[in-house]
Amino acid sequence: MGSIFIYIICLIVIEIYLFIEIGSEIGAITTILLIFSTAVIGVYYAKYEGLKTLRSGFAQLSKNEPMGFEILSGAGIAFAAVLLIIPGFLTDLIGFLLIFPISRKFIFKKISRKFNDKTVKQKNNFIDGEYEDIEGDDDKKV
């Protein structure tokens, strides 16, 4: 919980810094228009990619194939749309990276590899043994 709070504070500080730097270079009105335009364009493109992922999911479903990537991709697109609605340049950058299919696949491969490595390490943490259930005469006496 504490690390998430630190990440959120760092994100806010970076966003404020980028607002000040970019706003001083291109002007306040242009910065505000840029933020609104990235939100509108990003949400529109997220809608397009979401519908495309939904069609792909239905195609996988009709072929009786697993649609795990489509579900994960839809969640990533929804998260990207939220990031694009939040005003800021860093959140817009992360949102656009999640919306584009090429970068989304790359990000998902990196994340899944990280989780697969952790689960492989955890799977080897067991004790193998055998047991025999013995019913004796002592167990039947009450």
Over residues 110-134, mean pLDDT: 69
Q: Locate all alpha helices (DSSP H) within the chain, ordered by sequence.
A: 2-26, 28-62, 68-85, 89-99, 101-123, 137-140
Domain residues of the chain, as ranges? 2-115
Q: Measure the CA–CA gap between 115 and 123, rounded to whole angstroms.
A: 12
| Confidence (pLDDT) at 31 | 92
| Confidence (pLDDT) at 119 | 55
95 Cβ partners below 8 Å, 6+ apart? Answer: 42, 46, 80, 81, 82, 83, 84
| Confidence (pLDDT) at 40 | 92
Q: What is the DSSP letter of 23?
A: H
Over residues 71-99, mean pLDDT: 90
| Confidence (pLDDT) at 3 | 87
10 Cβ partners below 8 Å, 6+ apart? Answer: none
What's the mean pLDDT when you consider all of the chain? Answer: 84
